[in-house]
């Protein structure tokens, strides 16, 4: 038996300026949309401050196995999943700082037996601080997906996130506007922050996900909307986002043929140097 492990074609980070905008929900449902299109997909939850993927996928009680010092991902809905939530205790983030966080997260991602993947979705910690910045430099990303709600406050911090990725030359694959459509007494939501953000920054708009009870309920139950309610408006919207994302990935990949896809996360071959090396 060969232990030669093939690599990962595309790593896509989902990011948001602040927490609670649905970054993990988008990560999961986009990952599942890619699975439904026939791709091999992994999901890495590196949101060290609030790893919520295990809850949203109903796998909190799982304990990943370790084989030859490599973590074996949990499999659910044909997704390979690994979460910081399985490893860190409540006070771990507090004892790790700056460069340690980056190193910790990088080792975490490289220490998982992902096998051959078309896509690895990386659910980043929210924010635009040093940890996010150096992480974006130390993991070879195909690009970033920026999640915002339609509201001005979320858009403002999301813009900071866009700037951060631009600074380190990570292509922005697009903006996903989540929780669209809170009705007001005057009628439908007047907020279209995701559109505005993509126009102002000159980056693609991948789609709006409506505020949808089925998303919230299925999240609480650990059964993502793409699986439990595939016909819900939000699930349809997620499929639209996935199609647009694939267009952008193809576009970005052909624009950067020698881009960042050479790092084999399984063997470590071709890994870039980190700041503290």
Ligand X SMILES: Nc1ncnc2c1ncn2[C@@H]1O[C@H](COP(=O)(O)OP(=O)(O)O)[C@@H](O)[C@H]1O
Q: Which residues bind Mg ion (CB under 5 A)?
A: 24, 47, 52
Return the range that interacts with ligand X (CB under 6 A); candidates 113-121, 190-198, 207-215, 248-256: 207-215
Please, which residues have CB within 8 angstroms of residue 241's CB and are 6 or more apart in sequence? Answer: 26, 30, 33, 176, 206, 207, 209
Span interacting with ligand X, options 22-30, 38-46, 83-91, 135-143, rule CB under 6 A: 22-30
By CB under 6 A, tell whether 23 contacts ligand X: yes
Residue with the shortest CB distance to Mg ion: 24
Pick from 19, 58, 99, 222: which binds ligand X (CB under 6 A)? 19
Q: Smallest distance, Å, CB 253 to Mg ion?
A: 27
Q: Does 216 bind ligand X (CB under 6 A)?
A: yes
| Rounded Cα gap, residues 255 and 264, in angstroms | 21
- Number of residue whose CB is nearest ligand X: 219
With CB under 6 A as the contact rule, the residue among 41, 215, 242, 245 that binds ligand X is 215
Closest distance between ligand X and the C-beta of residue 32, in Å?
A: 13
Burial of 46-82, coded b for 16+ CB within 10 Å and e otherwise, reads: bbbebbbbbebbbbeebebeeeeeebebbebbebbbb
Residue identified by tokens 């998303």 is 215
Count of positions on this chain that bind ligand X (CB under 6 A): 18
Q: Terminus-to-terminus CA distance in the chain, angstroms? A: 34
The closest of 19, 25, 12 to 49, measured between CA atoms, is 19
- Binding stretches for ligand X (CB under 6 A): 16, 19-25, 52, 178-179, 209, 211-212, 215-216, 219, 234
């Amino acid at each position: 038996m060969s232990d030669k492990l093939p690599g990962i074609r595309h790593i896509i980070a989902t990011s948001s300026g602040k927490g609670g905008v649905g970054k993990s929900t988008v990560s999961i449902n986009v990952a599942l949309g890619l699975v439904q299109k026939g791709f091999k997909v992994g999901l890495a939850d590196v949101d060290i401050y609030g790893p919520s993927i295990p809850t949203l996928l109903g796998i909190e009680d799982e304990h990943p196995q370790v084989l030859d010092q490599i973590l074996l991902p949990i499999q659910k809905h044909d997704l390979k999943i690994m979460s910081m939530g399985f490893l860190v205790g409540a006070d771990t983030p507090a004892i790790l700082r700056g460069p340690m966080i980056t190193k910790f997260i990088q080792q975490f991602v490289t220490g998982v037996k992902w096998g051959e993947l078309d896509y690895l979705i990386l659910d980043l910690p929210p924010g635009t601080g040093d940890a996010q910045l150096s992480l974006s430099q130390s993991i070879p990303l195909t690009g970033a997906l920026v999640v915002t709600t339609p509201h001005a406050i979320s858009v403002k911090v999301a813009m900071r996130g866009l700037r951060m990725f631009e600074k380190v030359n990570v292509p922005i694959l697009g903006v996903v506007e989540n929780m669209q459509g809170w009705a007001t007494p005057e009628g439908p939501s007047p907020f279209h922050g995701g559109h505005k953000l993509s126009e102002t920054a000159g980056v693609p708009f991948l789609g709006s996900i409506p505020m949808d009870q089925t998303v919230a309920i299925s999240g609480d139950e650990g059964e993502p909307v793409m699986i439990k309610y595939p016909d819900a408006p939000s699930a349809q919207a997620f499929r639209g986002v996935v199609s647009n994302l694939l267009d952008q990935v193809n576009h970005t990949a052909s624009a950067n043929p020698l881009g960042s896809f050479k790092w084999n996360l399984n063997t470590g071959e071709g890994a870039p140097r980190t700041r503290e090396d």
